[in-house]
Amino acid sequence: MRCHSAVNCDVTGHAGFAKPRPGRYVQATLVNGAAAMILYPAIDLKDGACVRLYKGDMDKATVFGEDPAAQARSFVDAGCEWLHLVDLNGAFAGKPVNAAAVEAILAATNVHAQLGGGIRDMATIEAWLDRGLARVILGTVAVRDPALVKQAAKAFPGKVAVGIDARDGMVAVEGWAETTDITATDLARQFEDAGVAAIIYTDIDRDGAMQGPNVAATAALANAVSIPVIASGGVSSLDDLRALKNSGAALDGAISGRALYDGKIDLAEAVALLKSQ
């Protein structure tokens, strides 16, 4: 099910972002009365290009395309209903850096999109939501300023997710450059009653490594909280998706990047698999 938001902008919104006419978002597809898992194709942005990192290392980036909007259209044409966008430069800079590429993607597609990386204040949150994003992902700020996350979740119901990126179970921040002494589960539980739409859980050591997701840790987190959890990191085959689907946890969905670019996963098949019961 797709959302249809305006793609022609003629008004300037907050923080210098272009502001479109109002759009409409609808709930996730249902299968036989139950929510289906969603496949989120990942578009990671570095210096305006579409890349994938190896275990979060900015110096180990593989460029898959110089036209992120074209890549987004190809995912949409293959049947995706969501896009997962990451401003990698923004994650390190603490502010949006690849805004032009994100805006080009939003203008070129008509599906839901969520964005993380460098979103650390209410002005930026509101600017991106005004621009047409379905959801913003707050990562570093969830550790540094959890009150802001709760404020944003209350102000924008259903539009704020928390990104929890962990290395050996401990949360990492600042573009994964710094590992904290907070466990992923403890951080997630801080937002249990905050109205957060989802938690995107990434096992950093699996990300971009094509070694399969950390199913056990992802399922354990999902079973520890009532917030919907999206699996990320290492999803490299249909078998990986089946393992997540059969993990014993009610996962909202899974993110995949490199495997889609390398052709290890057929997006249409993956979408169908996650929708099936």
The residues that are catalytic are: 44, 165
Dihedral sign, Cα of residue 263, residue 267, residue 268, residue 274: positive
How many Cα atoms are found within 13 Å in the side-chain-facing hemisphere of 34? 10
Q: Rounded to an integer, what distance in angstroms lies between the CA atom of residue 47 and that of residue 112?
A: 23
Q: b/e per residue, 52-90, with b = 16+ CB within 10 A?
A: bbebbebeebeebeebbbebbeebbebebbbbbbbbbbb
Q: Which two three-digit tokens encode residue 105? A: 């993607």
Name the nearest CA neighbour of 76 among 31, 30, 111.
111
